[in-house]
Amino acid sequence: MKRQFLCICSIFLSFAMFHPTAVVNAKETTIISSKTQAGWVFTGGNYQYYNSYGVQLFGWQQINGHWYYLGEDGNMQTGWIAIGNKNYYFNPSGEMATGWVFTNDHWQYLDKNGERLDGLRKIDGSLYLLLDGNMCTGLVEHDGSKMLFDDDGKLIGGLDYIFPIGYYFVNENFERLTGWQYFNGNWYFFNSDGLLSSN
């Protein structure tokens, strides 16, 4: 009986020697999720974007065919943003806008690169005046010329002043016109040189 007991103890001792028990310190263990965070993530009241490797992106990013701007903190930008001395508009879903947009009670125009246009610009075959980016309507004095724009912002015509000669009347293509011309509710006569007659 004693010999049988010693044999069993020997077997258990041998098993313990060749199969040591692993001891893990719980304080040193870090659990990492097997799922990688990717795509748009809403956190802290803002949207951020992570690529397929789970890396957060910053700056200009083209996502699903649309341009977005992610700030230094990675947050998706919306509204008017000045980037590199140029003004861009990002709609509420964060996509960069192009073409006509209506913000702050004014129409503005953004070219194909999303940059806001200023000054006298030809858009889709018509001339528009954009002061501080805002489309003008009605009678506007700009760079020494008086210009008339319709309710859609298109140039109807204008009185172009050339010092010290006088006023010329120009159409939407800035071609000088002669004869009687109706401008801002009044008739004016321009001679054969296009100069406004004083008579």
Query: Cβ of 1: how many Cβ atoms within 10 Å?
Result: 5
- Chain centre to alpha carbon of residue 180: 46
* 8-54 per-position pLDDT tens digit: 445 444 544 444 333 333 333 222 243 567 899 999 999 999 999 99
Topology adopted by domain 37-117: left handed beta-beta-3-solenoid (2.10.270)
**Percentage with pLDDT > 70 across the chain:** 72
CA distance 196 to 199: 9
Instruction: Domain 118-199: state its class.
Output: mainly beta
What confidence tens digit (pLDDT) does each residue in 53-95 have?
999 999 999 999 999 999 999 999 999 999 999 999 999 999 9
Q: Same topology for domains 37-117 and 118-199, yes or no?
A: yes
Tokens of 91: 């709609």
Q: Which residue ranges make up each domain of the chain?
A: 37-117, 118-199
